[in-house]
Amino acid sequence: MDRLGLLESFVIALDEGSLNRAAQRRGISQPAMSLQIKQLEGLLGQQLLHRTSTGVKPTRPGELVYAQAQGLLSGYDRMCAELGALEGSVSGTFRISTSTFFGRIVLGPVLLDINQAYADLDIVMKLEDRLVDVVRENIDLAIRSGTLGETEGAARKITEMENILFAAPGYLERVGRPEEPEDLKRLKFIQHHEDQTGGYFPLTRNGTEYQAPVRVGFTADDPDLIIRAVRNETGYARAPRLFLQEALEDGSFEQILPSYQVPAKPIFAIYPSRHSFDRRHEVVITRLQERLEAMHLASVARTPPATAIMA
């Protein structure tokens, strides 16, 4: 297998946190995926992954290779886009799929701006709270966060969003505010159906990882319903901070365990194949990355430090 393909398999393995799920995305067996990782480790002369019963994590050399590989793969995609640009302008019908919540808050405004900038581009936006197969459903680009599901298309991580734990103040006053991860076992977790926890999820503080116990009390596939359940003091949930900033500021929601970091939510771009990637994909992904970065910086500027929150 070519080196770019080996690097892509390695990146997918870390994005998924599992060789088995990575193999499913690549359409190969787990032994074949494991062999590709070993081939890459042999080429580079370094162990890149720690293999555990719960999945895979990068070694220190693996972290370096992961960062560089993302840049190489992104550069390849840009090259393909520029080659496509030689053949024509940003035009034609372009079908995009994303989740309802993400589409309304983030991607929708981006696409409206792009539509104004490129008069010959006909954008068809589909808001769907399910995992689509871009190949079988004739989608040019899907933007997904968290779980990708099975698809025959190519995928790459384009950014990530800071996650936090949050609840209604009234709920925390009733059940008691957690002071450490172990205290979460007293609270009910409102879970998105894609985010199966297995009874625990990791929290990090000062470089140390803690396994916080999770007691699921409600599961839904609609983000709006999850937000409503939190407002009704059903329990607590996990979501990107930038979606919650206003509610945190006006006191509708309160961050739980603010001195601990929750694993970030990855954002993926999925398209039918690397050969299908063109200038339109590059425009949308670049504008989306810029908007998410601007939203993140604005959120950081408006967020007091954890020490102030705890005071």
Other C-beta atoms closer than 10 Å to the C-beta of 120 total 9
CATH number, domain with residue 11: 1.10.10.10
Contact 283, 114 (CB under 8 A): yes
| Measured CA distances, 185 to 99, 119, 179, 188, 215 (Å) | 30, 54, 12, 8, 6
Q: Where does a domain end: 43, 76, 109? A: 76
pLDDT, tens digit (0-9, with 9 covering 90-100), for 9-47: 999 999 888 898 888 888 788 899 999 999 999 999 999
Q: Is residue 48 in a domain?
A: yes
Q: pLDDT tens-digit profile of 96-108? A: 999 888 999 899 9
Please check whether residue 65 lies inside any domain of the structure. yes
96 plus 241 within the same structural domain: no
- Residue 221 domain-assigned (yes or no): yes
Low-confidence ranges of the chain (pLDDT < 70): 1, 84-89, 147-152, 194, 196, 303-311
Of 77, 9, 74, 75, which is closest to residue 41 (Cα–Cα)? 9
* 83, part of any domain: no
The amino acid at 47: Q
The H or E element containing residue 167 is strand 154-167
pLDDT, position 310: 46
Query: How many H-runs (helices) and E-runs (strands) does the chain carry?
Result: 11, 13
Q: Residue 247's CB: how many other CB atoms inside 10 A?
A: 16
β-pair partners for 289: none
Do residues 165 and 181 both lie within one domain? yes
CATH number at residue 143: 3.40.190.10
- Check residue 272 and report its DSSP letter: S
- Does residue 81 sit within a domain? no
Domain boundary among 48, 76, 104: 76
Q: Is residue 93 part of a domain?
A: yes
Q: So what's the pLDDT on residue 213?
A: 93
Same-domain check for residues 142 and 278:
yes
- Provide the pLDDT for residue 257: 97
Residues 167 and 259 in one domain: yes
- Same structural domain, 167 and 261: yes
Whether the model pTM is above 0.75: no
| Shared-domain flag, residues 166 and 242 | yes
Do 185 and 226 lie in a common domain? yes
- Same domain, yes or no, for 51 and 109? no
The enclosing H or E element of 74 equals helix 60-87
User: Tell me, what CATH number does 221's domain have?
Assistant: 3.40.190.290
- If asked whether residues 238 and 213 sit together in one domain, one would say yes
Find the domain containing 55 and state its range.
3-76
Q: Which amino acid is it at 124?
A: V
CA–CA distance, 294 with 291 (Å, rounded to integer): 5
Distance (Å, rounded) from C-alpha 259 to C-alpha 28? 41
Read off the tokens for 270. 């999925």
